[in-house]
Chain A
Amino acid sequence: MLKTSLQIVGIMVLLLAVTLVTLTLKNQNADGPSVLFPGGELVSGQLYQGAEPDWAFTDDIFTIELQTIDPISSRRIFIMESDGKVYVPSGYMRSFLGKLWKDWAFDVEDGSSLVVARIDGVRYERNLLRLNDPAVADGVAAKLAKKYAGGATPEAVAQIKQSITDGDTWIFEMAPRSK
């Protein structure tokens, strides 16, 4: 009985390992990420050139594709517009899984801040700036709660603001490259 149980556990571990390796290799050079696994360089789509867009259109977009330049990798991520600027979050930053999963955010924090965002098939060259202003964080937390936490209730907004303050959630402004 014990041997059979161990054999079943062994097969489950095998399936997890095979999945991680297969999907990591499958996606690493793809034109964009999958649901969970990072992709490669964002190649397709028109490169946006012109005046700063009205980012309010992102209110209707659930996730975008975000590619870092150094190293080149891309992932799906939430997006929030607040007060005319646009932001992306990275959660779980103080957890063990976050340290494995969100390595791109640590790279950005270490200076690799140039990114390309693909939104509705259009690529935008941007520069990520870590948000540290509590006053700005209020609006971003409200939008994050409204879009992704079931509504901007005072409790939800306060919880997200606390997560930002504690460093569990990092918020980056997707600023123009020239900023």
Chain B
Amino acid sequence: MNNTTYAKLCGGIALVWTLGLLFIPPFAKTVEQLMLLFLSTNAR
């Protein structure tokens, strides 16, 4: 994958991810729960 295609892919993924976090509450909640799980098992 060349750099231009990769940059477009990153932009698209970031946009979809952001819209999902903002407008799909179950998706945002799931992401938060996974982050909380990571922190609670790895924070030392």
Residue numbers of A with Cβ under 8 A of B are: 4, 7, 10-11, 14-15, 18-19, 22-23, 26, 34-37, 92, 95, 97-98, 101
Interface string of B1-33 (1 = CB under 8 A from A): 100001001100110011001100000110111
> For residue A35, which residue of chain B has the nearest CB?
B32
Tell me if A's interface is mostly helix, strand, loop or mixed: helix
Q: Tell me if B10 and A11 are in contact (CB < 8 A).
A: yes
| Contact partners of A4 in chain B: CB under 8 A | 1
Complex Cα spacing A51 to B6, Å: 63
| A-side contacts of B33, CB under 8 Å | 35
Report how far A109 CA is from B18 CA in the complex, Å. 35
Instruction: Say whether A23 contacts B28, CB under 8 Å.
Output: yes
Interface of B toward A, CB cutoff 8 Å: 1, 6, 9-10, 13-14, 17-18, 21-22, 28-29, 31-33, 35-36, 39, 42-44
Of all chain B residues, the one with the shortest Cβ separation from A98 is B43
Contact A18 B17 (CB under 8 A): yes
**In contact, A36 and B18 (Cβ under 8 angstroms):** no
**Shortest distance in angstroms between A19's beta carbon and chain B's nearest beta carbon?**
6
Residues of chain B lying within 8 A (CB to CB) of residue A26? 21-22, 28
CA distance A95 to B10 in the complex (A): 32
Are B35 and A95 interface neighbours, CB within 8 A?
A: no
